Structure 1
Amino acid sequence: MADGRVVAFRGEPPAEWISGTHLPENGFHKVDAPQNIGRLVRYTWELVNAMNAENAAEARDLRPLGQIQGDVHPAAHLIGAGEIFMAAGCRVSPGVVIDATEGPVVFDEGVLVGANAVIEGPTYLGPGTQIKPLAHIRGSCFGEQCRVGGEVSVSIIQGFTNKQHGGFLGHSYLGSWCNLGSGTETSNLKNNYTNVKVQVGSDLVDTEGLFVGLAMGDHSKSAIGTVFNTGTVVGVACIIFGAGFPPRFIPSFHWGGSEKLTPYHLKPTLVAIRAVMARRNQKLSKGEVEALTWIHKNRMS
């Protein structure tokens, strides 16, 4: 239990619990459940806000901090090396600054960092991720095989997503297989310093926070020069383009921007997704196709 809600359970025997799609009506009346076993995350901004503390704790619990197994150029600078872990196969170019003053920095296997990039902890870089030259990364978490450039602050980027070019991404959450075009910018703070409100389906939710950026679903993309307002939500498999701020809530499988949003078809979207994934030697699974089909059918919610 967390915040009075069931977040996990284990049934005996297992078959009684996994048959069908609904829990048995009388499944919990005899269960003694431990209370408040952890933090309940309901929205992407809550996950982003919790990330740095969790990143730091996990790094100290699970990684042999202070070990540098990769290739670090002599002209790179490691500040707080005792709080840095670098796995084998990593390469750090000249002029790079890795600063663990504010928290651990963890490099998983095969991370490449271009010249003169700055990486500040607590930060996690997933396997095979590439940090482009002159990038500035602060307090963020990237999945496997990401390509990241420009300025990224307090953001989560899931695996195989590209933000290769200049532009600011702050207090944001990007799903897998997203691509932000050159010059894409996100606002994470309102000019009047009031709480950010985010549209979640038909509800407008007060985040109770000042800093909330972009939440973007899997396989969505932005064109060059796209600008996202504070607390914008973009669904799955969207393509955003055009001048001005697009709407702050964009349903899945839509194309367009500030002037017009147009629903897009499932089949050509799947063709494009397969082409993108093939470039990274990945394949779209049957389960993913089923999930995308369901999302397309229910895309207006």
Structure 2
Amino acid sequence: MNIYIYEDSNTLNLEPIVLTRPSFDLRCGAYTFLERVQSLFPDARISLIVRDELAGVTANRFSDLTVNPSEVQSGLWLKGPVLWDQETLDISLKEGTILISHGEMVSASLNAEQGNRWLSEGGPLSGEPSETLREENTDVQVIRYLWDCVNLNGKALILDGKSFSLGSGLDSIPNGIHLVNPEGVSIGNDCSIKPGVVFDAEDGPIIIGNDVTILSHTYLQGPLFIGDGCLVKAGTRIYGGTSIGPGCKLGGEISESIFQSWSNKQHDGFIGHAYIGEWVNLGADTNNSDLKNSYANVQVTVNGETVDTGSPFVGLYMGDHGKSGINTMFNTGTSIGPGANIVGYGYPSVNIPPLSWSINGKIRRYKIDKFYITAQKVKDRRGQEFTLEEKQLFKLLSVEG
């Protein structure tokens, strides 16, 4: 079976995270959107349709998948940032059918002729197929903005929990661990969990990956996902509705937030209703506000437009390789571009462009060569390479910024 997972013309509404990754690589629940489709169709031949500027980094990251094919076969086309489930995907499989969610096309089952004709018209990034196809409606959840990811994360975690062996791995933990609803906890292989840790799965599952270290006096509340290779430092509090991707180091207080992967928040400080990218480092006592004193809905600048989120609870959105100095304070609805550094006193601007230094509220450009050096050092520490494709993408972001 052929599956084509695509970005569309609305993808940049998910900035700053999608400035350095395709939208289907965002995390919501225990999986990224791509991982969720792969788990539902493990034997499918999956191809990826992305913006031209992301083709290199996407091909490098997903080397076993085809990126931006010039020709396609009969198959199922799926919009990337959608909380797909088996029942909805089964409806999508009817050939010649497009699936509509709240007025937006989210899938199309096309034969080879129809698919190649769509590509010749510019494909998903240019618009929907021009030919008339049979439509069916669905209520499947579509992620249009980052706050949708955050707000739906708890629901996604509860649904994803059904694909894990809840209640497993508990025999390996030592005495002195406190379990509330142990049937809702799954602990992976080779984990080190110290006495005094509390797992509270009363409100949803707690899913712990492999090779995770959790130090004493930590409180973990479900629904929660912590990916492979993470370190949770002593005294950390992580509240429900939170997803932590692989390789993160965590401390302080985290609530209803998503960490993509390989990011550090090791110290005291509060992060809530936030989406944090990869290779981010938050300095000691970094805090974000996620509620205005007025309790009013938060507005966020997205893709050059001010958008009312419809929610009073909105925190920080920080792109890949973003960094904050000690005691940094972020206001509600702050968006930090990839490669930006925030230091100094007071609140920085709520909209910091990529590859910038914000120093005491004044913004200047980050010299790209110096950024390369730091990015390579950061990845070297985790045994990874800052690739040529990543350099080219950040160079483009520097020019555009």
TM over 0.5: yes
The whole-number CA distance in structure 2 between the counterparts of 1:26 and 1:141 is: 32
Q: Which amino acid aligns with 1:207?
A: T
Counting only pairs closer than 5 Å after superposition, residues 54-73 of structure 1 correspond to structure 2 as 54-60=156-162, 62-68=163-169, 71-73=172-174
Match of 1:107 in 2: 208
Query: What is the letter of the counterpart of residue 235 of structure 1?
Result: G
List runs of 5+ in structure 1 lacking aligned partners: none
CA change 1:266–1:20 in 2 (3 A) is: farther
Q: TM-score, normalised by structure 1?
A: 0.93
Matched, 1:38 2:137: no
* Cα distance in 1 between the residues matched to 2:243 and 2:300: 22
What is the Cα deviation at residue 71 of structure 1?
A: 3.4
Q: Name the residue aligned to 2:365.
A: 263
Q: Residue 262 of structure 1 aligns to a residue in which SS? A: strand
Cα RMSD (Å): 1.9
SS in 1 for 2:390: helix
Residue number in structure 2 paired with 1:79: 180
The alpha carbon displacement at 1:101 in A equals: 0.7
Which whole-Å deviations, capped at 9, do the CAs of 1:161-203 have from their partners, x for residues lacking one? 0000000000000001100000101100001111111111321
State the match for 2:336 in structure 1. 234
How does 1:1-301 map onto structure 2 within 5 Å? Answer: 1-9=100-108, 11-13=110-112, 17-18=118-119, 22-23=123-124, 27-36=129-138, 38-60=140-162, 62-68=163-169, 71-139=172-240, 140-299=242-401
Mapped contact 2:252–2:270 kept (Cα < 8 A): yes
* Deviation for aligned residue 1:42: 1.3
* 8 Å Cα contact 1:70/1:87 also seen in 2: no
Task: Give the counterpart letter for 1:2 in structure 2.
Answer: S
**For residues 131-169 of structure 1, what are the alpha-carbon distances to aligned partners after superposition, in whole Å with 9 as ceiling and x for unaligned?**
110000012100000001000000000110000000000
SS in 2 for 1:175: strand
Residue 18 of structure 1 deviates from its aligned partner by 5.0
Measure how far apart 1:46 and its partner are: 1.0
Give the Å deviation of 1:77: 0.6
- Aligned pair in 2 of structure 1 residues 36, 296: CA closer, same or farther (>3 Å)? farther
CA contact (8 A) 2:102 2:139 kept: no
Go from structure 1 to structure 2 and tell me whether the alpha carbon gap of 1:285 and 1:212 turns closer, same or farther (over 3 Å shift): same
Letter in 1 for 2:346: G
Letter in 2 for 1:253: L
Give the letter for the 1:244 counterpart.
G
Give the alignment's TM-score, normalised by structure 2: 0.71
Instruction: Specify the code of the residue in structure 2 equivalent to 1:6.
Output: M
Contact 1:186–1:228 (Cα < 8 Å) also in 2: yes
SS in 2 for 1:193: coil
Structure 2 unaligned blocks of 5 or more:
1-99
CA distance in 1, matches of 2:330, 2:230: 25
CA contact under 8 A between 1:11 and 1:17: conserved in structure 2? Answer: no
Q: 1:76, CA displacement in angstroms?
A: 1.2
Partner amino acid, structure 1, of 2:103? G
Q: 2:148 and 2:107 mapped to 1: Cα distance?
A: 19
Structure-1 separation of matches of 2:360 and 2:316: 16
Hey, what's the Cα distance between the residues in 2 that align with 1:159 and 1:128?
10
How many angstroms does 1:239 deviate by? Answer: 0.4
Separation of aligned partners in 2, 1:70 and 1:298: 53
Q: Does 1 or 2 have the higher relative contact order (CA < 8 Å, sep 6+)? A: 2
More helix by share: 2
Report the Cα offset of residue 45 of structure 1: 0.9
Q: Which moved more, 1:75-84 or 1:35-44?
A: 35-44
- Asked if 2 retains the 8 angstrom alpha-carbon contact of 1:245 and 1:257, the reply is no
Asked whether the 8 Å contact 1:199–1:249 carries over to 2, the reply is: yes
Distance in 2, matches of 1:96 and 1:162, equals 20
Contact 1:66 1:85 in 2 (8 A): yes
**Structure 1 182/118 Cα, relative in aligned 2: closer, same or farther at 3 Å?**
same
> What are the Cα deviations for residues 69-119 of structure 1, in whole angstroms up to 9, with x where unaligned?
573220111111000001111121011101001100000111110111000
Whether the 8 Å contact between 2:290 and 2:315 is mirrored in structure 1 is yes
Partner Cα separation in structure 1 for residue 370 and residue 329 of structure 2? 26
